[in-house]
Amino acid sequence: MEMCDEDKSNGNVQGPSLEDKFSKLFDQLEHYNESEQKHKIEEMNEIIDGMNKVEWKSVFKAELFDEIHTMVKEKKMSMENAILLLKHAGYCKALKNVWSLGFNDSEMRRRFEKMIFEEEKKKEEKDDKLIVDLCECYLSLSGNFTSHLL
């Protein structure tokens, strides 16, 4: 992925920041159908890959997680697409060892807790993949557990 920081060869002014690129794509998500959203989320995940710790923390605040929660609640985004985005964000958070509590203060965290609890409570027809995905998102986005694992 090519980053648009600055063209050092001819001194051009920098292009849009990674945060701006991510925000622009995120703001447009609700206007796409599920498959188009998936494609846009894949683009967003590429942007996340290029973010440093400061950029990641400036994007992934409680407000963003709350907006994702609202979009899922209002059926403007599927839970599958939300997990696709959040799982990658959590992976990058852990990989970059970012300390951030934005997820902990969000409605999305509470939604994940409720979904995990309800899925585990089922006697039959548990969706094990869903439980694993939810737990992976939850753990990777909560607190700073990664520094203890390294």
Our count of domains for the chain comes to 1
Residue 52 CB neighbours (<10 A): 10
The answer to whether residue 32 is domain-embedded is yes
Range of the domain at 58: 18-149
Predicted confidence pLDDT, tens digits, the chain (150 residues): 333 443 434 445 577 899 999 999 999 999 999 999 999 999 999 999 999 999 999 999 999 999 999 999 999 999 999 999 999 999 999 888 888 888 998 999 999 999 999 998 888 888 899 999 999 999 999 865 544 443
State how far the Cα of 141 lies from the Cα of 57, in Å rounded to an integer. 11
Asked if the structure places residue 5 within a domain, the reply is no
SS3 state of residue 24: helix
Is residue 10 in some structural domain? no
Task: State the Cα torsion 137-22-103-100 to the nearest 10°.
Answer: 110
- CA distances for 48 relative to 9, 19, 65, 94, 114, angstroms: 25, 9, 15, 12, 27
CA separation for the pair 45, 35 (Å, rounded) = 15
Q: Report the pLDDT value the prediction gives residue 82, as an integer from 0 to 100.
A: 97
For residue 9, the model assigns a pLDDT of 44
- 146 CB contacts (<8 Å, ≥6 apart)? 93, 94, 97
For 63, phi then psi, to 5°, come to -60, -40
